[in-house]
């Protein structure tokens, strides 16, 4: 029996935030190989037990476990400029243990995401007092950019670029809660509109019935007048 919380695999707790869908593939690249498949434990005993269980089912990857501590959710900074995201800002992670673990182990708040190399460098690159290149804000360490997930970083004033040939597995899913809520609201509004239409149709039916009754009454009155006129003519 585990002594503390055990969460995993990590990928099951991550959703792409609405409006950040374009970064889905490069987020997997930025997180690194094997992170999405890992489990999280909080004690040595639970780590040993989990590894033992993994061996029993034929998985010998003892490195597939992160060990961390439980504490309040980290308050991470937002991206330093508009038009740039971080892995932390582009993901919806409700589980505090998973979020804190990724901040501790992967530094998701320090990994930038950009639309392109040119665009991200134009937004993030600046110079220090000695004229050397630095990343604006001092928080982001490296930037992954579309379309393939290549990355650039700055070290000792030098900009370096590393290409990526690894294709994402496509295991991350979208956070569809807002889209579902919007669809529900739209469906509810359709119901309201339908009820209004039915009421309007009912009112029209009532008006039509009244008009038809008035027409019948007028028609009967006209026929009665015609009969009176005929009788008067016959008597003359």
Task: Please give the Cα distance from 33 to 185 (Å, whole number).
Answer: 39
pLDDT at 192: 67
Q: For the purposes of burial, counting CB atoms within 10 Å of the CB of 91, is it exposed (0-12), middle (13-18) or buried (19 or more)? A: buried
Name the pLDDT band for 234 (thresholds 50, 70, 90): low
The pLDDT value recorded for residue 170 is 77
Q: Which residue has the higher pLDDT, 227 or 44?
A: 44
C-alpha span between 27 and 111 (Å, rounded): 9
What per-residue confidence (pLDDT) applies to 176? 47
More confident of the two residues 193 and 187:
193
User: Which of 136, 101, 107 minimizes the C-alpha distance to 122?
Assistant: 136
End-to-end distance of the chain based on CA atoms, in angstroms? 116
- Give strand ranges (E) for 73-209: 85-86, 91-92, 111-114, 125-127, 133-135, 142-145, 150-155, 158-162, 173-174
The dihedral region occupied by 210, where left means phi > 0, alpha psi between -120 and 50, and beta the remainder, is: alpha
The whole-number pLDDT of residue 222 equals 72
Model confidence, pTM? 0.72
Could you give the CA distance from residue 219 to residue 222 in angstroms, rounded to a whole number?
A: 5
Statement: residue 41 has pLDDT above 70: yes
Q: Are strands 65-67 and 39-41 parallel, antiparallel or unpaired?
A: parallel
Q: What confidence tens digit (pLDDT) does each residue in 110-157 have?
A: 999 999 999 999 999 999 999 999 999 989 999 999 999 999 999 999
Which pLDDT belongs to residue 1?
A: 82
CB 22 within 8 A of CB 147: no
Query: What pLDDT, on a 0 to 100 scale, did the predictor assign at position 178?
Result: 53
Going by C-beta distance under 8 Å and a sequence separation of 6 or more, which residues neighbour residue 9? 36, 37, 38, 39
Q: 172 pLDDT band (50/70/90 cuts)?
A: confident
Query: Is pLDDT larger for residue 197 or for residue 114?
Result: 114
Q: Could you give the CA distance from residue 13 to residue 99 in angstroms, rounded to a whole number? A: 9
Tokens 């309007």 belong to residue? 200
Pairing of strands 125-127, 133-135: antiparallel
Q: Is the pLDDT of residue 213 over 90?
A: no
Length of the chain: 236
Please state, for a pLDDT cut of 90, what percent of the chain lies above it: 59
Share of residues in the chain with pLDDT > 70 (%): 79
pLDDT digits (tens, 9 = 90+) for 91-109: 999 999 999 999 999 999 9
Between residues 229 and 42, the one the model is more confident about: 42
State the pLDDT at residue 124.
96
Q: What are the tokens at 16?
A: 């792409």
User: What confidence tens digit (pLDDT) does each residue in 61-79 have?
Assistant: 555 899 999 999 999 999 9
């Amino acid at each position: 029996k585990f002594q503390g919380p055990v969460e995993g695999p990590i990928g099951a707790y991550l959703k792409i935030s609405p409006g950040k869908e374009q970064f889905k593939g490069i987020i997997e690249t930025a997180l690194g190989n094997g992170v999405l498949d890992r489990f999280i434990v909080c004690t040595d005993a639970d780590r040993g037990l989990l590894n033992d269980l993994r061996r029993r089912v034929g998985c010998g990857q003892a490195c597939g476990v992160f060990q961390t501590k439980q504490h309040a959710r980290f308050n991470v900074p937002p991206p330093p400029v508009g038009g740039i995201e971080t892995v932390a800002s582009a993901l919806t992670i409700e589980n505090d243990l998973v979020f804190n673990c990724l901040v501790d182990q992967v530094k998701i708040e320090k990994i930038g995401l950009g639309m392109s190399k040119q665009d991200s460098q134009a937004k993030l690159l600046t110079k220090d007092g000695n004229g050397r290149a630095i990343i604006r804000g001092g928080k982001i360490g490296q930037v992954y950019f579309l379309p393939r997930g290549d990355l650039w970083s700055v070290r000792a004033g030098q900009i370096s670029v590393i290409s990526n040939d690894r294709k994402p597995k496509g295991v991350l899913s979208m956070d569809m809660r807002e889209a579902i809520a919007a669809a529900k609201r739209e469906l509810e509004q359709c119901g309201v509109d339908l009820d209004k239409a039915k009421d309007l149709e009912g009112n029209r039916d009532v008006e039509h019935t009244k008009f038809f009754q008035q027409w019948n009454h007028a028609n009967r009155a006209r026929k009665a007048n015609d009969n009176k006129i005929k009788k008067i003519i016959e008597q003359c």
